[in-house]
Amino acid sequence: MDRKERLRNKKRIVIKLGTTTISYEETGNINLDKLEKFVRILINLHNQGKEVIVVSSGAVGVGRSALGMKQRPDTLAEKQACAAVGQGRLMMIYEKLFNEYSQLTAQILLTKESVTNEECKRNARQTFDELFRMKVVPIVNENDAISVDELAYGNFGDNDTLAANVAELVEADLLILLSDIEGMFTADPKSNPDASLIHTVTEIDEELEEMAGGSTSDFGTGGMTTKVHAAKVATEAGADMVIANGDDIYIINEIMEGKMVGTLFLSSGKDGEGYDK
Give the pLDDT of residue 71: 78
pLDDT < 50 regions, the chain: 150-157, 214-222, 270-273
Q: How far is CA 181 from CA 62, 79, 158, in A?
A: 22, 25, 14
The rounded distance, in Å, linking the Cα atoms of 202 and 3 is 13
Cβ neighbours around 123 below 10 Å, total: 12
Question: Are the CB atoms for 12 and 172 separated by under 8 Å?
Answer: yes
Q: What is the pLDDT of residue 276?
A: 56
CA-to-CA distance for 265 and 243, rounded, in angstroms?
8
What pTM was computed for the model?
A: 0.87
Contact 55, 123 (CB under 8 A): no
For residue 71, give every residue at least 6 positions away whose Cβ sits within 8 Å of its Cβ, in sequence order, or none.
none
| In contact, 131 and 104? CB cutoff 8 Å | no
Q: What is residue 64's predicted lDDT score, i.e. its pLDDT?
A: 84
The answer to whether the CB of 42 falls within 8 A of the CB of 54 is yes
Q: Residue 203: how many CB atoms within 10 A of its CB?
A: 17
Alpha carbons 205 and 272: distance in angstroms, whole number: 13
The answer to whether 60 and 154 are in contact (CB under 8 A) is no
140 contacts: CB under 8 Å, gap ≥ 6? 53, 54, 55, 56, 108, 109, 110, 162, 163, 166
Q: Is 115 left (phi over 0), alpha (psi -120 to 50) or beta?
A: alpha
Q: What is the CATH number of domain 3-276?
A: 3.40.1160.10
Which string of DSSP letters, residue by residue, matches 2-16? -HHHHHHT--EEEEE
Residue 184, CA distances (Å) to 7, 213, 224, 252 in order: 19, 10, 8, 17
> What are the start-end ranges of the E strands in 57-173?
105-110, 137-142
